[in-house]
């Protein structure tokens, strides 16, 4: 047996997971956590999609009464919450980020593998919590941004808004854990030699989104804590009669809510910047500018929140400031669009399915971006606030700019995750179904919006001339659903019948394509050498890795070991012992779920008891120490 096979079998033995369901329940492997995230968010995407179809079916013709008005309110509220908090964020960060980030930076796992598992189990708990409210007939019903006074205890009594507040906080804990985890992983766990400027653009995007989450979520948590206290303890944060302010809700919500938009789309930018080089076989144009733009877009995104509030009668100075700040966001966004387009033009673009989705994404992002620029003209914004024009804009951004790259990424990394190739022609058909479907679904919304159709209306009378557009939108919705089913059907079929993919079907640019598909538990047998951001194209480095493996050098096979690098230069700083499987993350998430269940039932003492239970689990968790030499 050669030295390389010996090393690999040693590592295989050391990193072997438990068999069966227990292996998934106790796992701390970032790839398994990523897959768990993937399946869960996909199921939630299905739920949010069914809600969307019900909304569109209700609006198919004037004076329709398919669902009751109360149900309709729940549908659009839960649709918004699901798609934003339970689909896109956990899909981009939780699924794509968890699975790919360590592979791209040449790491063997995340910096805190158990915390990573914890964030998944908390996410699962919060999703069950939200959907329990829907099936209990107590779903949130005041819109996803939940404005007071509509959402306060007087006008919306009972459990629905309590579910909203608690589900948001609960889900926020999971996202915060993920964000902090990603930042530390990116700074500390890169393969020695990968200095900051040699990091793939996907990782820059993940870093930007993680900073965004870490600093934006507390504003939303504070806001929902205030609302929960107003409703259940009798405080007066949003009660004007007692010195509170209803606008405080809106300010805090949008201080979170606008960075949120970039948190949704920046990881999608990251996916695009991985797919484009692979299918143009060319390095991304203006690499440093794109990296900086990814970070800047989130940074500037923190200073523009009040453009969601131009209709609230703010002082002129504030309105002008936020209008100008919003214009500034255009600069980093446009830098990226031009860089992508120039990479297309100067490379040899091969329009396979993933690249088609990225081309569709650029089209949708530019279209949605152009209507976005229109909103910073304050008089225009005040006219179209709360109309379908706004709905059209943010669906172009969220579906076009965030979900299209997710679909492209699903095709792109499918061979890496499963080891099988997807079927190309059905893949392209699914793209065209989705592209035509979404444009038919969202474009007419611009027109009815300008004609005065307000968002969230339950139904509309005939004779307003909105019938044809709404019918077209509904047809588009079903076309989109067909496209999604075609995509998933293709992937499922490919999983069973696809050709073997081999380690690198696309001649991709980054480190994940240097290892077998699907990746082994330990990711990299030898710690890879990195001397550019396109590591897989550096033939000499890869040859050197093979030589090292044959000589059993730099394989870190004394245990669950991973290298730690210095944060900026990527010097080899330390060898860390990574934790093994652990029962504590799911246990802690269970205890936390009980805390939130007790809170929504107003059993505050019981909630306190479960908080103590959380502490006990935490103490047990930290009693397991890694073995230092």
Partner 1 sequence: MSVSDYVAGGRSERAARERRRGVSVGAWGIAMVIASEATLFGTFIGSYFYLRFHTVHWPPLGTPKPEVAIPLVMVAVLTTTSLPMQKAAWAAAAGRLWRTRLWLCSALVVQLGYLAYELRDLVAQLQVSTPQDNAYASIYYVLLVADHAHVAFGIVLVLWLLWRLRSGLTAYRANATQVAAFYWHAVNLLTWIVIGTLLSAAA
Q: Footprint of partner 1 on this chain (CB under 8 A)?
A: 111-112, 176, 179-181, 183-184, 187-188, 191-194, 214-215, 217-219, 221-223, 225-226, 229, 233-237, 239, 242-245, 248, 251-252, 255, 527, 529, 548, 551-554, 556-558, 563-567, 569-576, 615, 619, 622-623, 625-626, 628-629
CB of 242 to partner 1, least distance (A): 5
- CA-angle at 381, arms to 377 and 387, nearest 5°: 155
Smallest gap from Cβ 544 to partner 1, in A, equals: 10
Q: What is the 3-state secondary structure (H, E, C) of 120-176?
A: HHHHHHHHHHHHHHHHCCCCCCCCCCCCCCCCCCCCCCCHHHHHHHHHHHHHHHHHH
Q: List phi, psi (to 5°) of 65.
A: -135, 50
For partner 1, the closer of residues 236 and 455 by Cβ is 236
Residue placing its CB nearer to partner 1 in the complex, 22 or 609 = 609
- Cβ atoms of 65 and 459 within 8 Å: the answer is yes
Residue closer to partner 1, measured from CB, 10 or 61: 10
Closest distance to partner 1 from the beta carbon of 306 (Å):
13
Distance from the first to the final alpha carbon of the chain: 29
Environment class of 21 (CB within 10 Å of its CB; exposed 0-12, middle 13-18, buried 19+): exposed
Q: Which is nearer to partner 1, 94 or 212 (CB)?
A: 212
What's the min distance (Å) between Cβ of 392 and partner 1?
A: 32
DSSP code of residue 420 = B
Nearer to partner 1, 499 or 569 (CB): 569
At closest approach, how far in Å is the CB of 628 from partner 1? 4
Q: How far apart are CA 196 and CA 570, in angstroms?
A: 7
Asked whether the beta carbons of 562 and 598 are under 8 A apart, the reply is no
CB of 219 to partner 1, least distance (A): 5
- Least Cβ distance, residue 621 to partner 1 (angstroms): 11
Nearer to partner 1, 21 or 233 (CB): 233
Nearer to partner 1, 312 or 346 (CB): 312
Q: Identify the CA nearest to 108 among candidates 179, 33, 31.
A: 31
CB of 194 to partner 1, least distance (A): 8
How many CB atoms within 10 Å of residue 62?
A: 14
Q: Count the residues in the chain.
A: 629
Identity of the residue, 255 or 484, whose beta carbon is nearer to partner 1 in the bound complex? 255
Cα separation, 129 vs 171, in Å, equals 10
Query: What are the helix and strand counts (H, E) for the chain?
Result: 21, 2
- C-beta closer to partner 1: residue 539 or 627: 627
Three-state secondary structure along 96-131?
A: HHHHHHHHHCCCCCCCCHHHHHHHHHHHHHHHHHHH
**Nearest distance from residue 225's CB to partner 1, in Å?**
8
Q: Measured from the CB of residue 99, what is the shortest distance to partner 1 in angstroms? A: 21
Q: CA distances (Å), 616 to each of 348, 564, 612, 613, 622, in order?
A: 58, 30, 6, 5, 10
DSSP β-bridge partners for residue 575: 563
The smaller minimum CB distance to partner 1, of residues 46 and 218, is found at 218
* 176 close to 220: Cβ distance less than 8 angstroms: no
């Amino acid at each position: 047996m050669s030295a390389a096979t010996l090393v690999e079998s040693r590592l295989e033995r050391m990193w072997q997971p438990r068999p069966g369901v227990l292996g998934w329940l106790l796992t701390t492997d970032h790839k398994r956590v990523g897959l768990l995230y993937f399946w869960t968010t996909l199921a939630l995407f299905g739920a949010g999609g069914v809600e969307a179809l019900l909304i569109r079916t209700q609006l198919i013709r004037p004076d329709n009464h398919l669902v009751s008005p109360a149900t309709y309110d729940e549908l659009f509220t839960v649709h918004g919450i699901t798609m934003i908090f339970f689909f896109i964020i956990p899909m981009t960060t939780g699924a794509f980020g968890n699975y790919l980030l360590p592979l791209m930076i040449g790491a063997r796992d995340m910096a805190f593998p158990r915390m990573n598992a914890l964030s998944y189990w908390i996410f699962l708990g919060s999703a069950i919590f939200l959907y329990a409210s829907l099936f209990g007939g107590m779903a949130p019903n005041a819109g996803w941004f939940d404005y007071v006074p509509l959402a306060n205890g007087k006008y919306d009594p009972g459990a629905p808004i309590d579910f909203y507040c608690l589900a948001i906080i609960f889900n926020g804990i999971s996202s915060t854990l993920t964000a902090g985890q990603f930042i530390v992983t990116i700074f500390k766990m890169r393969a020695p030699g990968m200095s900051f400027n040699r990091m793939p653009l996907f990782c820059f995007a993940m870093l930007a989104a993680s900073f965004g989450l870490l600093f934006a979520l507390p504003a939303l948590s504070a806001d929902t804590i205030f609302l929960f206290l107003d409703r259940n303890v009798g405080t007066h944060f949003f009660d004007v009669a007692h010195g509170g302010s209803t606008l405080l809700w809106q300010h805090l919500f949008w201080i979170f809510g606008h960075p949120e938009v970039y948190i949704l789309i920046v990881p999608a930018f990251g996916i695009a910047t991985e797919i484009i080089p692979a299918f143009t076989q060319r390095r991304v144009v203006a690499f440093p500018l794109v990296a900086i733009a990814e970070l800047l877009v989130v940074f500037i995104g923190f200073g523009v929140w009040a453009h969601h509030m131009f209709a609230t009668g703010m002082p002129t100075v504030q309105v002008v400031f936020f209008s100008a700040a919003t214009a500034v966001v255009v600069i980093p966004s446009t830098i990226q669009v031009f860089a992508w387009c120039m990479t297309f033009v100067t490379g040899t673009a091969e329009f396979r399915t993933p690249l088609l989705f990225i081309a569709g994404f650029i089209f949708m992002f530019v279209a949605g971006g152009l209507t976005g620029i229109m909103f910073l003209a304050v008089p225009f914004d005040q006219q179209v606030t709360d109309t379908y024009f706004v709905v059209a804009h943010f669906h172009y951004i969220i579906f076009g700019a965030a979900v299209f790259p997710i679909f492209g990424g699903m095709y792109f990394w499918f061979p890496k995750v499963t080891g099988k190739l997807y079927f190309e022609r059905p893949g392209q058909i699914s793209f065209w179904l989705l592209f035509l479907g979404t444009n038919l679904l969202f474009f007419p919304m611009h027109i009815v919006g300008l004609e005065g159709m307000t968002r969230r209306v339950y139904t509309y009378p005939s004779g307003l001339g909105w019938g044809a557009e709404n019918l077209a939108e509904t047809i588009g919705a079903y076309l989109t659903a067909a496209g999604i089913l075609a995509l998933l059907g293709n992937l499922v079929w490919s999983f069973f019948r696809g050709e073997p993919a081999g380690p690198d079907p696309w001649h991709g640019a980054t480190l994940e394509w240097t290892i077998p598909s699907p990746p082994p538990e330990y990711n990299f047998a030898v710690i890879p050498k990195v001397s550019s951001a396109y590591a897989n194209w550096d033939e000499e480095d890869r040859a050197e890795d093979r030589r090292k493996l044959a000589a059993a050098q730099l394989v870190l096979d004394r245990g669950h070991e991973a290298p730690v690098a210095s944060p900026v230069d990527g010097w080899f700083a330390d060898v860390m012992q990574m934790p093994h499987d652990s029962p504590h993350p799911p246990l802690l998430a269970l205890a936390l779920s009980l805390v939130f269940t007790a809170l929504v039932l107003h059993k505050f003492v019981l909630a306190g008891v479960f908080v103590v239970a959380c502490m006990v689990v935490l103490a047990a968790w930290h009693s397991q120490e890694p073995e230092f030499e």
